[in-house]
Each structure stands twice: as C-alpha cells, then as structure tokens.
Structure 1
Amino acid sequence: MTTPTTAPLAPGVHTAHIGGLAVRYHVHGQGPVCLAHPGGPGFTWDYLRAPAVEQHLTMVYVEPIGTGGSGRLPGHPHGYTRARYSAALDGLLDHLGCGPVHLLGHSHGGFVAQHYALRHPDRLAGLILYESAPAIGHDHFTEADRNLRARFSGHHDPHSADILDAWTRVPTISDDDAFTTTARRLLPAYLADHPARAAEFDALRKAITGTYISGLDTDLRPEVIDDRDRLGDLTLPVLIVVGAHDFICGPHWANALHTLLPHADLVTLRHSGHFGHLEEPDAFAGAVTAFAHTAAP
C-alpha cells in the first residue's frame, strides 16, 4: 500500500493501492465515517451520492474494483466475488486508519456489506443495508419479474414497453455499452413515480454509466449469495432501509432481513423505489444519520 500524499479522509478524490489494485474513493461531508458501497455490480459511484447525509457524516464513496477509476482483476469481467470486494474494503479501512466505521451497502453493495460484516464485525460500528436481501436466486428474480410486469404491463407509463423489453435483455448483457444502455432504459422502473418525476430524473438517467461485471467467479461459476443461515449471528446494530415501491429488493426482502437480524431497525420510505436517497433525500438522511449517531463507536 502506498503512502498517501494527503490525509486519507481529506475531502476529495483519493486512490489507495490494495492487493495490487488501485481502489479509488471520494470523501465528502463531516462527522462519523461511513463507507458507501454502490450496487450493480458495475455502477459508478456517483449515483449513490447523498448530500443531505454529508451534512452529518463523513461519507467515503467507494469505487468498487472493476469499476470507474479502480483497478481491474486479471480475469475481468470475471472474478468479482463478494470475497474480493470485501478484501478491498478491508484494505481500504487499513488505508483510512480510523476506528470502527459505519458501512452502507446499496443493492448489490448490500450483499457485499453483509458479507463483510459477518466476517469483520469488529471493524464496524454499524451496518446499513439499503435495498438489500438475505439471498438472491430463483425466488428473488421470480418476484422481481412478477413485480415489474404487474406494474408495467398495463402501459400506464409511456416507458412501459421499453422497460419490459430492456428487462428481457438483462441476461444478454456482455459489455460496458450494453450495461449502460440497459441501465438507462430501466431507470424508470426503479423509481416510485417516474411519470410524475421524469423531468427531475432525466439528467440522472442520461448520466448513468457502468462496467459489465459477469457475476461469475474465477472458475466461471455463478457466485452463490445466501446469508440466511448466518445473519442471526450478527451482533452489530443494523439499519435496514427500503423503498415501499422497489420492485427488486423491496419490502418483502427487507422484512426477511429484519426477521433474521437480531439487532436491526427497519425504515420504509413510503414514496420511494430503489433510490430513496434521491426520491426522499431528507427522510433517507434523517434515518441514516440518526442511526449512525446512535450506533456511534
């Protein structure tokens, strides 16, 4: 690991070198430290930025390995397992040199955060699972498909046909351009009320970019994500945040997490889909900052 030329938690853009790979991260705000791991896998970090939270917490937004300005594995786009992401997080905490921190994981980042917390609880003051689930597999994707079709098959949204077509193309994504194009087409599905707020989120939709990550390990096998048997052992304080209208990691999965985790609080954002930090920024910030200050190390 290289010696930083500036303080590792100074506001701005930083790069740590961990396990032979660059890990870029962005520091904004003030207060207790909270690492934020975005979803996808493959999305760039900037969609997750939450200025309202930054008024109360020092947010460290991670660019996961394989995305943005962080390094790529030799077998890219394969090999990006939760174990590899967790190793990068562990090295980043060494680089930051601070005590127990809060870890926020959004969507797939929530799966990474769960994995890390189960293995390194001593390094965390609290865990924030934002649009996560205890496992993904056939049941998870079947429900997501059912929710999506129930919402958009009636064509009440002018983007309905395009959304459903893009959804069917997700399994065929195999490069960065296809990932980005499909993500932009699907964005309306992730918002609670896109028809009413289309103009508000148009810039976000056009700005979305990402990197294709296969979801396969180095042996080209799908990674199994199932923490149901272990979550009950987690003694950390946990905050679960979910949007009431999220079709893919919604209330069903948030309630499942809440049942499994012995020290968890559940906050449902009533007017949000998958992006509550953008759809209800004040409510999201209030929940996260209250939790972080209550669960201070």
Structure 2
Amino acid sequence: MEFITSYDGTTLAFRTLGDGPPLLCLPGGPGRAAEYLGDLGGLGAHRTLILPDTRGTGASGTPADPDTYRVDRLVADVEALRRHLGLERVDLLGHSAGGSLAMLYAAAHPDRLSSLTLVDPSFAGVGLPSDTGVEQVIASRASEPWHAEAVEAHRHMTTATSFAEAAPYRLAFEPLMYGRWDAAARAHAAADPAQRALPVSEHFYRDYTPDTAQLLASLGELACPVLLLVGEVDLWPTAEAAAGAASLFPAVTLAVQPGAGHYPWLDDPRAFTATVEGFLVRAR
C-alpha cells in the first residue's frame, strides 16, 4: 500500500497490482474499498492496475469535511494521484459510481486522458438515467430460484431513502447484480459490508446537481477513445441505458458482455479481459 496527501491534507491510499502499462482504476459502491475489484479478471497480467481507496474508505484517511466525499469534489483526488504518479496522460477506468467520477474527471481534465474505460458506470454524475428498461431485465431472470426474494429486496432498495436504510436488503438483492449466483459471486457480495464506508455512500451524490448540458457538451468534445462496457443483465446501468448514453462520446466502443451483470470480470474473466485489453491496445 502506498500513500499520498491530497489537496486538503487528507491521506489517500492506493496499491498497484500486475505488470505492464499503468491503468488507473476508480472503484464504485459508492464508498466501497478498491479491494472488491480484485485484479479485474486477470487484467493485471497485461496492465499495472493502480487501485486507490476513495477518501474515507479502505486504508484512506477520513477528511475533516464530509462534503468532500461528493462525486464532483473527488475529481481533485484523482488529479492529485495522477500528479503523484508522474503521468502526463493516463488510461482511466471507472466502475459503477467510479464511472460517474471518471466522466467528471474527463470533463474537467480532457487533456490528461489517453483513454477512458467505463465498466457498468452510473450515469448519475452527468444527470442521465441508468435504469432504462430495468423491469424487463429483472423479468428476464424469473426462472432463477432466488428471483422472488431478490425482487422483493429490490423493491425495498429502490424505495429506501438512504444507503443505511437499504443495507438490510442488500444481500437478498445481490443475485440480480451478478450474471451467475455461484460461490464466487456469493463471496464477493458477502464482502460488501466490511468493504463499504456508509458515510461515503451517503455523501457521494448528496446535494449534487449536475450541470448536465455543460457536462454533455464537454464529453462530446472528448478526444480520447472511450470504451463503454456493460453486462447484458446489469440493472444499474442497463444495457439499454448504456446504448442511449454511448452517443455522448465522439469516439466510443460500446460492448455488451453476454450473460454478465454488474461485475463482468467475475462472470466471464476471459471475455472481460479480452475486451478491455483489446481496447487499450487499439487506443495506443
């Protein structure tokens, strides 16, 4: 584990994993330590993964001001890490809520990106829906033995007013977030509570109102290539929502991984790694 001091004196932790050109990977959750990313399905065999813990999560420090957990203010932490790493331009990957952060970083610092990879990103950071067609995706999995319980938990999750209120239903809901509810998926989901910092989750989008028009204009001028990779049965975002958002970017590759959920590197590591590494090679 390595540490840097960000703009406001908060200590940020990150670790590096793998070998090859660097790839800066922003975790989601929001508020989940980067540990859940693992080695992204073996991507570390091709890239040096730089895995920061968002402030307030994992080994990173707790800031004096909890408002700095907000997604737009986290952009400054990403820039602080880029500077520390000495990278003039960076290949950036964001997963889930980390995808929102990655898009905001791209809008603020487009000249610092060599490529942008968005893996099942939330579009909340740019003010677009992530759940278009979600009921159809849920219905498509009706034959699964866990389906009824997961649907009931999903109802509670979507009507909860806070992450803390939703927490008791999360594990029952989790099968809907994976393409296969096997032992690896169950272990990954069970690790969530210990890896999640609820204060970060609660503040991530609190009082944040995106300037959608300006953000879409900025992303529409993004010069670097973009990979938008989503699981076929993910709920947040759905493949339909991702297809609608793909037109934001002038140089985009949209990849829908068959049978995958919100964590496509777990559902089919080989397919995930081939897609991402193939894109990164072409982006050079």
Q: TM-score, normalised by structure 2?
A: 0.85
Aligned to 1:7: none
**Which SS does the other structure have where 1:224 is aligned?**
coil
Does the alignment pair 1:63 with 2:53?
yes
Q: Which of 62, 70, 74 lines up with 1:85 in the alignment?
A: 74
- Which aligned pairs between 1:162-241 and structure 2 lie closer than 5 A? 162-170=149-157, 171-173=160-162, 175=164, 181-194=168-181, 198-209=182-193, 210-212=196-198, 213-215=201-203, 221-224=207-210, 226=212, 227-241=215-229
Q: Distance in 1 between matches of 2:153 and 2:86?
A: 43
**Which SS does the other structure have where 2:72 is aligned?**
helix
Deviations 1:214-273 (A, max 9, x none): 2467xx624437443432111111111111111221211221232221111111111211
1:179·1:211 contact (CA, 8 Å) conserved in 2? no
**Would the alpha carbon gap of residues 43 and 133 (structure 1) be closer, same or farther in structure 2, given more than 3 Å must change?**
closer
Deviation, 1:138, is 9.3
Deviations 1:138-163 (A, max 9, x none): 973663653465346x5x33333432
2:131·2:236 contact (CA, 8 Å) conserved in 1? no
Deviations 1:174-211 (A, max 9, x none): 54xx66654433221111233xxx23322212222311
**Would the alpha carbon gap of residues 216 and 247 (structure 1) be closer, same or farther in structure 2, given more than 3 Å must change?**
closer
Q: Distance in 2 between matches of 1:205 and 1:146?
A: 22
Q: Distance in 2 between matches of 1:137 and 1:121?
A: 15
Q: Distance in 1 between matches of 2:72 and 2:170?
A: 25
**Would the alpha carbon gap of residues 69 and 169 (structure 1) be closer, same or farther in structure 2, given more than 3 Å must change?**
farther
- Once superposed, which parts of structure 1, at least 4 consecutive aligned residues long, lie more than 6 Å away? 136-139
* Higher-helix-fraction structure: 2
Does the alignment pair 1:32 with 2:21?
yes
Q: Distance in 1 between matches of 2:223 and 2:127?
A: 29
Q: Which of 32, 35, 41 lines up with 2:30 in the alignment?
A: 41
Deviations 1:26-64 (A, max 9, x none): 100111111111112111212212151001101001111
- Which aligned pairs between 1:1-297 and structure 2 lie closer than 5 A? 13-19=1-7, 20-49=9-38, 50-76=40-66, 78-132=67-121, 134-135=123-124, 140=129, 143=132, 146-147=135-136, 149-151=138-140, 154=142, 156-170=143-157, 171-173=160-162, 175=164, 181-194=168-181, 198-209=182-193, 210-212=196-198, 213-215=201-203, 221-224=207-210, 226=212, 227-296=215-284
2:178·2:185 contact (CA, 8 Å) conserved in 1? no
Letter paired with 1:95: H
**Would the alpha carbon gap of residues 91 and 245 (structure 1) be closer, same or farther in structure 2, given more than 3 Å must change?**
same
2:130·2:242 contact (CA, 8 Å) conserved in 1? no
What is the CA RMSD across the aligned residues, in angstroms?
2.6
Letter paired with 1:150: A
**Would the alpha carbon gap of residues 276 and 134 (structure 1) be closer, same or farther in structure 2, given more than 3 Å must change?**
same
- When the two structures are aligned, how many residues end up with a matched partner? 274
Q: Distance in 2 between matches of 1:85 and 1:56?
A: 28
Q: Distance in 1 between matches of 2:239 and 2:144?
A: 22
Q: Distance in 2 between matches of 1:136 and 1:114?
A: 8
Q: Distance in 2 between matches of 1:115 and 1:234?
A: 12
Q: Distance in 1 between matches of 2:166 and 2:61?
A: 18
Q: Distance in 2 between matches of 1:37 and 1:228?
A: 21
Q: TM-score, normalised by structure 1?
A: 0.82
Q: Distance in 2 between matches of 1:202 and 1:216?
A: 26
1:135·1:225 contact (CA, 8 Å) conserved in 2? no
Unaligned runs of 5+ in 2: none
**Would the alpha carbon gap of residues 72 and 147 (structure 1) be closer, same or farther in structure 2, given more than 3 Å must change?**
farther
Letter paired with 1:272: A
1:133·1:253 contact (CA, 8 Å) conserved in 2? no
2:99·2:123 contact (CA, 8 Å) conserved in 1? no
Query: Greater shift after overlay, 134-143 or 119-128?
Result: 134-143
Query: Greater shift after overlay, 137-146 or 263-272?
Result: 137-146
**Would the alpha carbon gap of residues 23 and 223 (structure 1) be closer, same or farther in structure 2, given more than 3 Å must change?**
farther
Unaligned runs of 5+ in 1: 1-12
